[in-house]
Amino acid sequence: MKKFIGPAIVFLVILLAAVFWWRYYFVFAEGVKAGNLNYFEKKGFIFKTWEGRLVQDGFQSPNPGALQSNEFRFSAAESDSVSAVLERSGGKFVELRYKEYLNPIPWRGASEYVVTEVLEVDNARGTELPVR
C-alpha cells in the first residue's frame, strides 16, 4: 500500500496545478473592443489594480424590448504604459486589445477581461493622441 501513496500524491499535486492553471491563467479569448472610456481608477483593499469601464455604441439587452447600455468592464495589465495612457483618456474614444480569462485573481484585477494594449485614443475633435 505504501508504494502507491507516493505516486498518488505526485499525481494529485500535478492535477491540482493543472486545474489551477486552467481556471486562472488559461486565456479563453483575445480581442479588441472600442468605445468611450467612462472611468479608469486604481482600487482594491490589499492588491491595488487598475479597473475601468468602456461604454460602447449601441444598446444590448438580455430581455426583448428593453434597452440597456453596452458596457465593457475591464482590468488593466500591470504595464505602466497602458495605465498611463488610459489614465489621461477619460471620456475619449479608445480602442483596446484584451485577454479574457476564465476567472479573475486578486493580483491581476477584479474582472475576467484584462487590457494588454491601447491601440488608439481619439479625441472628440477627431485628432488622435500618440500611444506609447
Identify the pLDDT of residue 129: 53
Give a yes or no: residue 5 inside a domain. no
Q: What is the pLDDT of residues 12-42, one digit of tens each?
A: 999 999 999 999 999 999 999 999 999 999 9
- Give the contacts of 60 (CB within 8 A, at least 6 positions apart): 68, 69, 70
Phi, psi for 17 (deg, rounded to 5) = -65, -40
Q: What is the pLDDT of residues 50-61, one digit of tens each?
A: 999 999 876 656
Looking at the whole model, is its pTM more than 0.75?
A: yes
Query: What is the per-residue DSSP string for the chain?
Result: -HHHHHHHHHHHHHHHHHHHHHHHT-EEEEEEEEEEEEEEEEE-SSS-EEEEEEEEEEE--SSTT---EEEEEEEE-S-HHHHHHHHT-TTSEEEEEEEEESS--TTT-SSSEEEEEEEEEE-TTSPBPP--
Give a yes or no: residue 91 inside a domain. yes
Give a yes or no: residue 70 inside a domain. yes
Give a yes or no: residue 79 inside a domain. yes
Burial class (CB in 10 A: 0-12, 13-18, 19+), 33: middle
Give a yes or no: residue 132 inside a domain. no
Return the CATH number at 98.
2.40.50.140
Q: What is the mean pLDDT of the chain?
A: 86
Give a yes or no: residue 15 inside a domain. no
* Number of independent structural domains in the chain: 1
Q: Show the domain range for 44.
A: 27-122
Give a yes or no: residue 3 inside a domain. no
Does residue 32 contact residue 97 with C-beta atoms inside 8 Å?
yes
Give a yes or no: residue 35 inside a domain. yes
Q: What is the pLDDT of residues 96-128, one digit of tens each?
A: 999 999 999 999 999 999 999 999 898 754 555
